Copies of this chain bind each other. A is one copy, B any other.
Amino acid sequence: MNKIQMTETIINAKLSKAVSWESLAAEVGLDPVFLTSACLGMNSLKAEAAESLCRLLELPDSIATQLQQCPLKQWDQAVPTDPLIYRLYEIVGVYGGTIKELIHEKFGDGIMSAIDFSMNIEKEENPAGDRVKVTMNGKFLPYKSW
């Protein structure tokens, strides 16, 4: 059992039970972004959440154990090709320098943490076409001077 097999098992169970990430997350008591990322092998769950998810999807203990392992976070494509993911990459390319200017202006020298970090995704209904709203929230970490 490794993270890749874990993800395949969870996705198959989710499809055959026809449940959404959102409803699973609500029952486990986590945000859908965090729960999904753990199921995709990009975060680890605490024991209680892992066991709760496995009860919901009727999965064996080995999945719950694997969900608690610290993942090795890897991706193969330095520049992602999937259009949905590429657009996020493009936003970093186009607006990265701008975000840097504005964070330094508001906070001083430092960065936004990607570890002490949360994100959520919302659907904003709009007659001219619905909109995706992605909110990122990360702790500001000032550079230490020593």
Contact = CB atoms under 8 A, between A and B. Distances in A.
Interface of A: 20-22, 30-34, 36-37, 40, 42-46, 49, 70, 72-75, 77-119, 121, 123-124, 126, 128-146
Nearest to A44: B109
A-B pairs with lowest CB-CB distance, top 4: A112-B132, A118-B146, A85-B96, A87-B114
A44 B72 CA distance: 23
A82 B87 contact: no
Q: How many copies does the complex hold?
A: 10
Contact of A115 (B75, B111, B121, B130): B111
A116 B131 CA distance: 9
A88 B92 contact: yes
Contacts of A101: 21, 36, 40
Given A139-B129, A145-B30, A85 B100 contact: yes
Given A44-B143, A101-B36, A135-B135, A95 B83 contact: no
Contacts of A110: 84, 115
B140 A131 contact: yes
Contacts of A135: 133-136
Contact of A34 (B100, B103, B136, B146): B146
